A = this chain, B = another copy of it.
Amino acid sequence: MTTVENGVNVQALLEARTALQGAPEAAQFTWRASSKWQNGVHSQTRIQKYYGLGQEQSHKTESVFEADHPEVFAAEDNGITPIEYLLVGLAACLTAGVASVAQNRGIQLRSVEASVEGQHDIRGILGADSDVRNGFNDVKVTFNIDADATKQEIEALVAQSQKRSAVFDALTNPTNVSVEVA
């Protein structure tokens, strides 16, 4: 029997699960982002620090993200649109889940690709029709996976990833978001 190696330390994750069952306060994470308006609808957002396991934490490096609107919205296209960032998070979260579940089930992955499409009727955000919502009408993710497994096993991997995905939950279920002026 060959050893499956998808690069996920499943042992550490299973130990964390057990440890956090007895220490719920350590499981409370706070993720943070700071953004600055540049000009027009262009902003820059920085991410590095977060809180978790009972203390302040830091990513190895700071990440910087540009967001803007495209030229067809009379803007400068200095970065992707804000709503496209949701698709990045969704693709990345489900892909990370596929790798983790595959490792746990002893399935060797060779390649995992995801295509995500979000349908968006922009009459909502423009205020052109009050019956049209502002966000996506719906989102579709299509995986192409090459792995040492049957189609059925691959479909089960994807289903389990979806079941444990933070971003899938955040998009398919409501979250309270409060917005304040300091």
Residues of chain A whose beta carbon lies under 8 Å from any beta carbon of chain B: 6-9, 12-13, 16-18, 20-21, 24, 27-37, 39-43, 45, 47, 50, 52-53, 57, 59-60, 63, 65-75, 77, 79-96, 98-100, 109, 111-129, 132-145, 151, 154-155, 158-159, 162, 164-182
Interface of A is mostly: mixed
Q: 10 shortest A-B CB distances, which residue pairs?
A: A85-B89, A67-B92, A7-B40, A135-B170, A82-B93, A12-B74, A37-B112, A41-B96, A35-B91, A135-B169
Give complex CA distance A40, B7 in Å: 4
Residues of B near A154 (CB, < 8 A) are 181
Give complex CA distance A127, B31 in Å: 20
Min CB distance A158 to B, Å, is: 6
Which among B17, B129, B140 is the interface contact of A178 at CB below 8 angstroms? B140
**Copies of the polypeptide in the assembly:** 2
Give complex CA distance A171, B169 in Å: 10
A121 contacts B27, C-beta separation under 8 Å: yes
